[in-house]
Structure 1
Amino acid sequence: MAITAPITVRSHPAHPVAVRGVGRTFPPRDRGGRAKAVLADVDLDIAAGEIVALIGASGCGKSTLLRQVSGLDAPTAGQILIDGTPVAGIDDRCAVAFQEPRLLPWRTLAQNVAIGLPRGTDRTAGAQRVTELLELVGLGECTGYRPRQVSGGMAQRASLARALARNPGVLVLDEPFGALDALTRLKMQDLLLEVHAAEPTTVLLVTHDVDEALYLADRVVLLGRPDGAPTSAPAGVRSVVTVPGARPRDRADAQLALLRAQLLEGLGVPSHHVAHDADAHHSI
């Protein structure tokens, strides 16, 4: 889906993110149980305005790391800095969009987006901003609709608009397109790139889809446990891949096919399961 409405580029700042030696250990659930170390010694620098995708096996701590960045959870070791200032609690510099839209069913799309506006926003200015954002995500004619009246893709677009309403310096996306059908997912990927061009911000994205990561991100970070480590071992950064080429990219680009094979091998998918020719396209 391409944006047809005029786009006003806003000049709010994108913030750099620094992850320094971050670890997260969860206490035992039951008396006598064992604590569970999910992350250990995670170091990562994200430049202002960069799109970085996190991939890794289920349970390796991708969403946990997102929660540390946004302040929804606190690391048990290390620290996270946004624009040089440590994150301490829920951080107004961040906005989060999840796999499910989580819209309030009794409110219109416009009213749901307005929830994301910073506190103290002038009513007239806020209404104008909500209208602008709904136009930006292609929902300008649906402002009065309620969530039950729109498709899953439209609801997810409204969720993205709500996150942008905060004017975040860092946008955190936790598998935002994972619940959508394949065609809608591709359209939402294109929409995210168009929105990023119009609303430049730093984006940290979790996805299980290697093709999605390579299409959207400047860099792809593979999280996982060290080779030979037990399944109870905490995860860390296994590798960081820089994706060549300017966005939007050709999904069938030969360079992306090679990086796809490399990342899939890092995820434990044997190379003989991956087609290496330039015309191959894989989505997992």
Structure 2
Amino acid sequence: MSLLGTPPRRTAAVRPGTAPSDAASGSLRFEQVGRTFGTGPGAREVLRAVDLDLEAGEVVALLGPSGCGKSTLLRAAGGLDLPTSGRVLIGGSPVRPHDERCAVAFQEPRLLPWRTLRANVALGLPSGTDRRAGAAQVDELLERVGLADHAELRPREVSGGMAQRTSLARALARRPGVLLLDEPFGALDALTRMKMQDLLLAVHAGSPTTVLLVTHDVDEALQLADRVVVLGRSGDDPAATVTELVTVPGARPRDRGSVELAALRSRLLESLGVDAHRH
């Protein structure tokens, strides 16, 4: 495994008048995490001995071929699945089932079609939130993701990008210490995807939560992440583990045409078994 550099110091500025999440950004740690599905001769080992540390407020992108266990690892971080071996910790304490310290946004917005965008975002508020304070928080989030003028529309009345922005706002309504993103922009067209990436960076600058992002897009990983992790297998071994861990140079937002990033892009593509000269 190639380990380049240590987690960078947090440099993202917090905008005046905004505060980090109420649930203080938590460090995220995977200790020898393994996951096997099934038992006996038909058991299928997907992950083995995954060790990974995310600093509080860090953005880490997770790359790897389809079926290598990226989403499985992300689900373990949120308590949506339990590892077969090892453990996951947030802020030094073990992850609980459906851990309230985490929020998840998926590739599909998963909005309730009969509710307005405002009402969908409000679903993310923690249980027991004061009604007036919750309404103010929802309004703030809708403003932050550029949907204040569309709050009373329903999902069928908005574009895919607007639906995905609603999903992101709903996840942030929980004010999570850890934000888990499972290919959240994968279904969007290229231009909308870039706009969503910029939006995520702006939101993170205002509320620097810890982010674990699953993506198939190397360029997206290089634009958004402080570090990029590659999950991979060795030979015919069915179980994946961390095979590459690199620190991305330069402060965000980054120059998409950077020569330095182009070189790192080639290296990551090769780590994924892709001919970099053909992409």
User: Is the TM-score greater than 0.5?
Assistant: yes
Change (3 A) 1:262 1:110: same
Describe the SS at the equivalent of 2:48: strand
1:120 corresponds to = 128
Whether contact under 8 Å (1:8, 1:198) holds in the other structure is no
1:57 maps to which of 44, 65, 70: 65
Find the counterpart in structure 1 of residue 49 from structure 2.
41
Q: How many residue pairs were aligned? A: 263
Report the equivalent of 1:173: 181
Distance 2:270 2:212 in 1: 23
Determine the C-alpha separation between the residues in 2 that align with 1:197 and 1:65. Answer: 25
Q: Give the distance between the partners of 1:271 and 1:154, measured in 2 at CA.
A: 33
User: What is residue 10 of structure 1 aligned with on the other side?
Assistant: 19
TM-score, L = length of structure 2: 0.92
- Residue 161 (structure 2) pairs with residue 153 (structure 1): yes
Letter in 2 for 1:206: V
Deviations 1:32-72 (A, max 9, x none): 75100000000000000000000000000000000000000
Q: Is the 8 A contact 1:100 1:176 kept in 2?
A: yes
**Is the partner of 2:260 in helix, strand or coil?**
helix
- Partner Cα distance (2:20, 2:203) in 1: 13
- 2:250 maps to 245
Whether the aligned pair in 2 keeps the contact of 1:116 and 1:162 (CA below 8 Å) is yes
Q: Does the 8 Å contact 1:48/1:202 carry over to 2?
A: yes
Conserved? CA contact 2:20–2:209, under 8 Å:
no
Determine the structure 2 residue equivalent to 1:278: none
Residue 220 of structure 2 aligns with an amino acid whose one-letter code is E
Structure 1 residue 271: Cα displacement: 4.1
- 1:1-284 correspondence runs (5 A): 8-12=17-21, 13-27=24-38, 34-226=42-234, 229-230=235-236, 233-274=238-279
CA contact (8 A) 2:61 2:229 kept: yes
AA aligned opposite 1:24 = R
In 2, the alpha carbon distance for the partners of 1:161 and 1:241 equals 29
> What is the distance in 2 between the residues matched to 1:273 and 1:33?
40
Which stretch has the larger CA shift, 124-133 or 263-272? 263-272
| Alignment deviations for residues 3-25 of structure 1 (CA, whole Å, 9 cap, x no partner) | xxx98422332110010000000
Question: Aligned letter for 2:97?
Answer: G
| Structure 2 stretches lacking a partner, 5+ long | 1-14
Gaps in structure 1 of 5+ consecutive residues: 1-5, 275-284
Q: Residue 177 of structure 1 aligns to which amino acid in structure 2?
A: F
User: Match of 1:63, SS?
Assistant: helix
Q: Secondary structure at the match of 2:268?
A: helix
Which structure has more RCO (C-alpha within 8 Å, separation ≥ 6)? Answer: 2
1:90 positional shift: 1.0
Deviations 1:225-271 (A, max 9, x none): 02xx21x5200000101000000000010110000000000010124
Aligned counterparts of 1:21 and 1:160: Cα–Cα separation in 2:
30
C-alpha distance 109-272 of structure 1, shift in aligned 2 (>3 A):
closer
Q: Please give the root-mean-square deviation of Cα atoms over the aligned residues, in Å.
A: 1.3
CA displacement, residues 54-99 of structure 1 (integer Å, 9 cap, x when unaligned): 0000000000000000000000000000000001211000000000
How far apart in 2 are the matches of 1:88 and 1:103? 25
One-letter amino acid of the structure 2 residue matched with residue 85 of structure 1: S
How far apart, CA to CA, are the structure 2 residues paired with 1:109 and 1:193?
A: 22
Amino acid corresponding to residue 199 of structure 1 in structure 2: S
Q: How far 1:198 moved relative to its partner?
A: 1.0
SS at match of 1:24: strand
Does the 8 Å contact 2:20/2:206 carry over to 1? no
Q: Please say if residues 61 and 212 of structure 2, whose CA atoms lie closer than 8 Å, have aligned partners that are also in contact.
A: yes
